[in-house]
Amino acid sequence: MFGLLDCDASILARQTTDPKLFFVRTLVKNWLWPIITCFGVTGNILAIIVLTKRRMIMSSTNNYLAALALVDIAYLILTLILNTFQHPCFTGTSLSAILLTVCRPIADFSSNTSVWLTVTFTVERWVAVTYPLQSRTWCTVSRARKIIISVMCAALICTTPSVFEMKLVRSVTIKNSTNPNEKSLLTSRIYAKPTALGSSLLYHQLYFNFVT
């Protein structure tokens, strides 16, 4: 049984210890972020529709912008899922453990890709402004697509270790009934458990300070 809607009272108590902090977190996660996600996803979808038209996609700049819009959509949706399932009502459920374990590395990949696509796009614009004549041969569509793929591969490599930080473990609990005529209740729950890599202090110091 997933126990999807069972809220842990102790978790709620800890969340409400600091009223101001609780208010800010609730405001951002439950109200502002869904609105930002709605507008962001809608705007990026419209951008992709426009930028991928035949005439528009023949520009190297528009290739960067289309790829950036795509990863931004993924990041917005995934972070909305993460924020939703970090709510106390979902904490400790199997569904939240699965989604948080799966979505977090993908969200990190989307975030890293978005940042470095912005960097490469900025460099391309600098080249176009500084060297307008050479940019016609340097800033081509084929080169832009190769750079986009390279950035995504590099972001994937950098994000891969985060996949192995947590693992899903199934826990089976047997509740014996006090009534001898009733059968024992068997409950199964999936939870996320840190791996040896995820528990390593050295890994966190190196990975989060120098890689991400």
Quote the crossing angle between the two packed helices 60-85 and 94-130, to the nearest 10°: 160
Checking if the pLDDT of 6 tops 50, the result is no
- Per residue in 81-113, pLDDT (tens digit) is 998 888 777 777 888 889 989 999 999 999 999
- Per residue in 190-212, pLDDT (tens digit) is 888 889 988 888 888 888 777 76
Residue bearing the bigger pLDDT, 25 or 128: 128
What three-state secondary structure class fits 146?
Answer: helix
- Per residue in 30-59, pLDDT (tens digit) is 889 999 999 999 999 999 999 999 888 889
What residue spans of the chain are helical by DSSP H? 9-15, 19-26, 33-51, 60-85, 94-130, 135-138, 141-163, 201-206
The mean pLDDT value for 167-193 works out to 75
Architecture per CATH, domain 9-164, reads as Up-down Bundle (1.20)
Q: Are 113 and 155 in contact (CB under 8 A)?
A: yes
Q: How far apart are CA 54 and CA 161, in angstroms?
A: 38
pLDDT given at position 9:
46
What three-state secondary structure class fits 29?
Answer: helix
This model's pTM is above 0.85: no
